[in-house]
Chains A and B, each alone.
Chain A
Amino acid sequence: MKRIELVRSGSGGCVPAAGAARLGLFFTLSLLLGGCATFSETFSPVEQKLAAQQPEHALQLLEKRRYPRRDEVLFLLNKGMLLRMARGYEASNQAFEAAKQRINELYGASITEQAASFLINDGTRSFVGAEFEQVLLHLYMALNYLEMRQLDQARVEALQVDIRLREIAEHVPESVYTEDAFARYLTGMIYEERGEWSDAMIAYRKAYQAYTKYRDRFGTDIPVFLKYDLLRLSERMGLTQELARYKREFAISQWQDVTSLRRQGELIFMLHNGLAPIKREQSAMAVNPASGRLIRVSLPYYQPRQQPVVRARLIVGGDHVQTQVAEDITGIAIKSLEAKMPAITARAVARAVLKEGIAREAGEEHVVAGLMVNLINVMTERADTRSWATLPGNIHFARLPLPPGNYAVKVELLGSGDAVLATRELSNITIRAGEKSYYSYHWIPSRL
Chain B
Amino acid sequence: MRGYEQKSRLFRVISLALILGVFQAGCATSVTRMDAGEVKDLSGAWNDTDSRLVSEEMIQDVLSRSWLQQYVRAQRKQPTVIVGEIRNLSHEHINVNTFVADMERALINSGKVEFVASRTERQDVRDEREDQDLHAREDTRKAMGQEIGADFMLKGTINTIVDPSGTKQVRYYQVNLTLISMADNRKVWVGQKEIKKLVKRSKLRF
Contact = CB atoms under 8 A, between A and B. Distances in A.
Q: A and B: partners?
A: yes
A364 B11 CA distance: 14
Interface in B1-27: 1, 3-4, 7-8, 11, 14, 17-18, 21, 25
A361 B4 CA distance: 8
B43 A155 contact: no
A115 B14 contact: yes
A217 interface: no
A166 interface: yes
Given A152-B88, A153-B93, A364-B4, A358 B11 contact: yes
Nearest to A159: B91
Interface stretch (B50-58, B145-153, B179-187, B197-205): B197-205
Interface string A299-326: 0000000000000000000000000000
Nearest to A162: B91
Interface of A: 2-3, 68-69, 97, 101, 104-112, 115-116, 119, 152-153, 155-156, 159-160, 162-163, 166-167, 170, 358, 361, 364-365
Given A112-B17, A116-B21, A156-B88, A361 B205 contact: no
Interface of B: 1, 3-4, 7-8, 11, 14, 17-18, 21, 25, 43, 87-93, 160, 162, 164-167, 201-206
Contact of A156 (B3, B91, B166): B91
A3 B4 contact: yes
A160 B160 CA distance: 11
Greatest chain B CB density within 10 A among A3, A69, A112 is at A112
User: Could you tell me the dominant secondary structure of chain B's interface residues?
Assistant: mixed
Nearest to B3: A3
A107 B201 contact: yes
Contact of B206 (A112, A160, A170): A112
A435 B78 CA distance: 40
Contacts of A364: 4
B159 to A, nearest CB: 10
30 contacts: A2-B1, A3-B4, A101-B43, A104-B43, A106-B205, A107-B201, A107-B202, A108-B167, A108-B202, A108-B203, A110-B205, A111-B206, A112-B17, A112-B18, A115-B18, A116-B21, A152-B87, A152-B88, A153-B93, A156-B88, A156-B92, A159-B90, A159-B91, A159-B160, A160-B91, A163-B162, A166-B164, A358-B11, A361-B4, A364-B4
B34 to A, nearest CB: 20
B45 to A, nearest CB: 9
Contacts of B11: 358, 361
B88 to A, nearest CB: 6
Contacts of A97: 93
A190 to B, nearest CB: 12
Given A153-B93, A156-B92, A119 B14 contact: yes
B43 A109 contact: no
A312 to B, nearest CB: 32
